[in-house]
Amino acid sequence: MKNLVIAAMLVAFATSAALAADTVVLEAKNGNVTFNHKAHGEALKDCKICHGDATPGKIELDKDKAHALCKDCHTKGGQGPTKCGDCHKK
């Protein structure tokens, strides 16, 4: 399991070395979620949608907050994954 995770991380690094800081891996027991921060920022053109009015910074996510933020927008907007396995990858 540990080796699999490391292998996956190495692949992720190899394919996106220049973009490493642009994607964030949100850890979850049922499979980590890779969040493309840069793509979302560019597609949505508005930091406030997720960060509110304060200066954008780290967001503390848990299951409920993440599902409310991420899944709801994907569902309402008709874009982005809404199925468990499309976000959570083992």
Contact by Cβ (8 Å): 63, 52: no
Structure tokens at 84: 């468990």
For residue 88, how far is the Cα from the chain centroid?
10
Rounded to whole angstroms, the Cα distance separating 27 from 66 reads 11
Q: Is 56 in the site for ligand HEC (CB under 6 A)?
A: yes
Q: 9, 49, 52, 53: which one contacts ligand HEC (CB under 6 A)?
A: 49
Q: Is 50 in the site for ligand HEC (CB under 6 A)?
A: yes
Rounded to whole angstroms, the Cα distance separating 15 from 10 reads 9
Q: Is 74 in the site for ligand HEC (CB under 6 A)?
A: yes
Q: Is 8 in the site for ligand HEC (CB under 6 A)?
A: no
Provide the binding-site residues for ligand HEC, judged by CB under 6 A: 24, 26, 28-30, 33, 35-37, 39-41, 43-44, 47, 49-51, 56-59, 61-63, 66-67, 69-71, 73-74, 77, 79-84, 86-88
